[in-house]
A and B are shown apart, each in its own frame.
Chain A
Amino acid sequence: MLIKWIGIVCILFSSIMTGAYLSKRFYFRAEDLAQMRRAMLILKNQILFYSMPLPDGMREISEKVGGAIGAIFATAAGQMEERQGKDAQSIWQIALEKEKGKTYFTSEDMEELHNFGRTLGYLDKGQQQSSIDLLIEYLTDKEEALRKAGQNNTKLYGSMSILVAMLTIVVLL
């Protein structure tokens, strides 16, 4: 009997935790998008007002933003400072791929970030600003949508996890 109760508790616990994790994934992704948006706003500021070289700008962003997003910029800045003749697009791609495991970005987000990398390094101020604005727009829209959907999803995953746990327990009993 005791083993049964332990099993029930385990199923309930793991199911609720899975539900909580799934609902939090939206929140974590929204946080990553927000951090990336913040990084892009800093980058835009550095380019427009200070004409700061990209490696220096990325290094500064990595320190200001920190976390997984900061790590992307730190890796890119490091590669640029090494000056091995790679173009900016390749460096940005390498940084994204290296750090993507630490982020909650989806393949759609990654595609947008890769597209942004194609415009890095050779554009003038106006064009570079447009390219950053385009990415900021995507990041803002996605983040807003996720935050709106987030509350509903939290309730949904919460209820679903309990239901799944109950169902599993009934079936197993």
Chain B
Amino acid sequence: MDEKKKILQSIGGRLQNVLQNMDEAYFLHIEEIRIRAGQPFMIRMKGKEYVVSAKGELMDSTQRGFIPTLSDIQKILEVLSRYSFYAFEEEVKEGFLTIEGGHRIGLAGKIVLENGKIKTMKNIHALNIRLSHEIKGCADGVLNYIVRHGRVHHTMIISPPGCGKTTLLRDIVRQISNGKPGVCSGYTVGVVDERGEIAGCYQGIVQNDVGMRTDVLDCCPKAQGMLMLLRSMAPQVIAVDEIGKKEDFEAIESILNAGIQLICTVHGNSLEDIKKRPILNALLEEGVFGTIIVLSGKRSIGEITEVYDENLNSIFTKKKGIMC
């Protein structure tokens, strides 16, 4: 099914008509669809933001385009959730829901608290639809750095938000799980998918291709998930997205002690950024990570700018375009 049809099927009401008028070619590149009640309807494509008119024309963000209402947002939520908003109660508490196809819908509205904890969200007035684009083969360039001397190295991917770290992680997982002739045989991979972005599980079915030897813990807190996988699924490699909490590092210590290889991502612009964080810096100084990949979105999304080894020596840099 083509991208346009898939997206149109997920969006109901007047917004569907607006998108219907848009050029089909755009749909391959849409990264985000921003819908805010009373504000212009916007899309993000190839790193640039556009306002969309009622006729589906793209305009720069200084202009007023089509203005969605609260009712439009309610209708979109209905269709996005397959008329089953109740089925996403736990996810709504986290502020997002994952729909068929692995796309993630960020929500903003009024938070309802009960005993100091988030019970639900009501009066949802803004949606951020992040379209999941699987790019098979995007990890080809880094796989030889991750798998060296016939084994997978602990790997950290450093990237600012929205620069393709999850897409890269997904492809690394897929390739390591399936195995690649001449690079590695297949490994059993455990994925802790706290926000449902890596595997994009929907109703228990993995939507993205994460490989044939991959077990996914969907919507599970990272620290608990890593320990659960360690105890239950005997993984050889564990992959997690966006580590950062204190408890994540405690769990990482356990899996390192168990001899399991870790592939993780972390928010940051450069290696220097990461060195400023005491716990992460300690891991770097101990030489835990055999491969450190730095992504940047400056020129294009998912651009690999630097790769470091365990001694923090650069083994690849984009500027020179050659192996150092």
Residues of A within 8 A of B (CB): 47, 51-55, 80, 83-88, 91, 120-125, 128
By DSSP majority rule, is chain B's interface helix, strand, loop, or mixed? helix
Q: B5: shortest Cβ distance to chain A, in Å?
A: 10
A84 / chain B contacts, CB cutoff of 8 Å: 9
B112 to A, closest residue via Cβ: A124
Given the complex of chains A and B, what is the CA–CA distance between A39 and B62 in angstroms? 52
What are 21 A-to-B residue pairs whose CB atoms are below 8 Å? A47-B86, A51-B87, A52-B84, A53-B87, A54-B83, A55-B83, A80-B82, A84-B9, A85-B9, A85-B16, A86-B79, A87-B13, A87-B78, A87-B79, A121-B84, A122-B85, A123-B85, A124-B89, A124-B92, A125-B86, A125-B89
Smallest CB–CB gap between A38 and chain B, Å?
Answer: 21
Let me know if B86 and A88 touch, CB within 8 A: no
Digit string of B224-240 for contact with A (CB within 8 Å is 1, else 0)? Answer: 00000000000000000
CB-defined contacts of A121 to chain B, threshold 8 Å: 78, 81, 83-85
A124/B75 contact (C-beta < 8 A), A85-B12, A85-B13 known? no
In the complex, B74 has a CB within 8 A of chain A: yes
Interface residues of B (CB under 8 A from A): 8-13, 16, 74-75, 77-79, 81-87, 89, 92, 120, 203
Contacts of A128 in B (CB 8 A): 86
Chain A residues whose CB sits within 8 angstroms of the CB of B89 once the complex forms: 51, 124-125
Q: How far is the CB of A136 from chain B (nearest CB, A)?
A: 17
CB B88 to nearest CB in A, in angstroms, measures: 8
Residues of chain B contacted by A53 (CB below 8 angstroms): 82-84, 87, 203
Do A83 and B79 touch across chains, with their CB atoms under 8 A apart?
Answer: yes
Q: Which residue of B lies closest to A54 (CB)?
A: B83
Shortest CB distance A35–B (Å): 22
Chain A nearest CB from B68 CB (Å) reads 14
List 8 tightest A-B contacts by C-beta distance, closest first: A85-B12, A121-B83, A121-B78, A54-B83, A51-B87, A85-B16, A53-B84, A83-B9
The answer on a CB contact under 8 Å between B77 and A122 is yes
> A52-B87, A53-B87 known; A87 and B12 CB under 8 Å?
yes
- Max chain A C-beta neighbours (<10 A), residue from B79, B83, B92: B83
Q: Which residues of A contact B77 (CB under 8 A)?
A: 122
Instruction: Give min CB distance, A30 to chain B, whole Å.
Output: 30
- Say how far B84's CB is from chain A's closest CB, in angstroms: 4
In the assembly, what is the distance between CA of A125 and CA of B92, in Å? 12
Q: Chain B nearest CB: distance from A116 CB in Å?
A: 13
**A83 to B105 Cα, complex, angstroms:** 18
Q: State the Cβ distance, A131 to closest chain B Cβ, in Å.
A: 11
Q: Across the interface, do A55 and B78 meet the contact criterion of CB distance under 8 Å?
A: no
Q: Contact at B9–A122, with CB atoms within 8 Å?
A: no
> What's the least CB distance linking B147 to chain A, in Å?
40
- Distance of A52 Cα from B203 Cα, bound (Å): 9
Contacts of B82 in A (CB 8 A): 53-55, 80
CA distance A122 to B10 in the complex (A): 15
Taking CB atoms, residues of chain B closer than 8 Å to A123 are 85-86
Specify the chain A residue showing the minimal Cβ separation from B9. A83
How far apart sit A153 and B20, CA to CA, in the bound complex (Å)?
A: 56
Query: Which residues of chain A come closer than 8 Å to B81, judged between CB atoms?
Result: 121-122
Q: Which of A52, A55, A83, A122 has the most CB of B within 10 A?
A: A122
What's the nearest-Cβ distance from chain B to residue A133, in Å? 14
Q: How far apart are the CA atoms of A12 and B92 in the complex, in Å?
A: 66
Contacts of B10 in A (CB 8 A): 83
Chain B residue, CB-CB nearest to A86: B12
- Are A122's CB and B87's CB within 8 A? no
Write out the residue numbers on chain B whose beta carbons fall within 8 Å of the beta carbon of A55. 82-83
Please give the distance in Å from B163's CB to the nearest CB on chain A. Answer: 32
* CB nearest to A48 among chain B residues: B86
Alpha-carbon distance between A83 and B81 when the two chains are bound, in angstroms? 11
